[in-house]
């Protein structure tokens, strides 16, 4: 499943309480919908958290699940963000193998993506980079088989500011 095909981004503002994430994710699970990515953290108001959910699903079932989410007492607000109307970012840390010959190119590419070296030893180097999910895809793709492991946070998103 590629998130680019028909992914939907739900930005769900919830009460920051135990069990709320389970309530939200349970609604997807009981309908057999796979959550593509999930990011959750408190907002500027510490009593609230924002959950950003990326899910691959047709529009009709998504409308139903959005309505069901809205029924949860702990859910305060739900916005579906059309990718074109949202700014999205994701963070990734990635470990790659390097040789003395390839290392300059890896560092240069990391630099090009505004990344930073977090750790290095022997023939391995771990860098972090933030960007659009597509940029992170492009980076790992260019690294090819050099990638040993990576971890992505799942995307976070906010609506675009419109004038």
Partner 1 sequence: MKTNGGAALIKALELEGVDVIFGLPGGAILPVYDPIIDSPIRHILVRHEQGAGHMAEGYAHATGRPGVAMVTSGPAATNIITPLADAYMDSVPMVVITGQVGTAGIGTDAFQEVDTVGITRSVTKHNELVTNAADIPRIVREAFHIATTGRPGPVLIDIPKDLVDPTNPNSALDWYWPDSVDLAGYNPRLDGDPALIEDAARLINASQRPVLYAGGGILKARAAESLLALAELLDIPVVTTLMARGAVPDDHPLCLGMPGMHGNYTAVTAMQESDLLIALGSRFDDRVTGKLDAFAEHAKIIHVDIDPAELGKVRRPDVGITGDCRLVIDELINALKQLGAPENQPDRSSWKSTISGWQEKFPLSYVQSEPGDLLKPQFVLEQLRDNTPDDCIVASGVGQHQMWTAQYWKFQHPYTWINSGGLGTMGFAVPAAIGAKVGRPDRMVWAVDGDGCFQMTAQELVTAAAERIPVKIAILNNAYLGMVRQWQEMFYEERYSEVYLSPDLPDYKMWAEAMGCVGMRVESPEDVLPAIQRANEVDDRPVVIDFRTDASEKVFPMVPAGKSNSDIVVGPEGLR
Q: Closer to partner 1 by CB, 50 or 155: give it.
A: 50
Q: Cα separation of 52 and 154, whole Å?
A: 8
Q: Cα separation of 139 and 47, whole Å?
A: 36
Query: Binding to partner 1 by residue 145, rule CB under 8 A?
Result: no
Query: Binding to partner 1 by residue 22, rule CB under 8 A?
Result: yes
Q: To which residue do tokens 């750790």 refer?
A: 119
Q: How far is the CB of 24 from partner 1 (least distance, A)?
A: 11
Q: Figure out which of the listed residues 1, 19, 108, 122 binds partner 1, where binding follows CB under 8 A.
A: 19
Q: Alpha helices, DSSP H only, in 84-162? A: 103-112, 133-143
User: Is 153 strand, coil or helix?
Assistant: coil
Query: Binding to partner 1 by residue 23, rule CB under 8 A?
Result: yes
Q: Which residues bind partner 1 (CB under 8 A)?
A: 14-15, 18-19, 22-23, 26, 30, 63-64, 67-68, 70-76
């Amino acid at each position: 499943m590629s998130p680019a095909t028909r992914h939907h981004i739900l930005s769900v503002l919830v009460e920051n309480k135990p069990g709320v994430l389970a309530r939200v994710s349970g609604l997807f699970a009981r309908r057999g919908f796979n959550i593509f990515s999930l990011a959750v953290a408190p907002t500027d108001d510490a009593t609230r958290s924002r959950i950003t959910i990326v899910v691959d699903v047709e529009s009709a079932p998504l409308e139903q699940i959005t309505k069901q989410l809205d029924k949860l007492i702990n859910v305060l607000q739900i916005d579906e963000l059309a990718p074109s109307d949202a700014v999205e970012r994701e963070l990734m840390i990635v470990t790659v193998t390097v040789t003395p010959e390839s290392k300059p190119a890896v560092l240069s590419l990391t630099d090009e993506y505004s990344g930073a070296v977090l750790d290095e030893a022997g023939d391995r180097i771990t860098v972090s980079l933030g960007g659009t999910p597509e940029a992170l895809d492009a980076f790992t793709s260019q690294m090819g088989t050099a990638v040993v492991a990576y971890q992505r946070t799942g995307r976070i998103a906010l609506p675009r500011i419109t004038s």
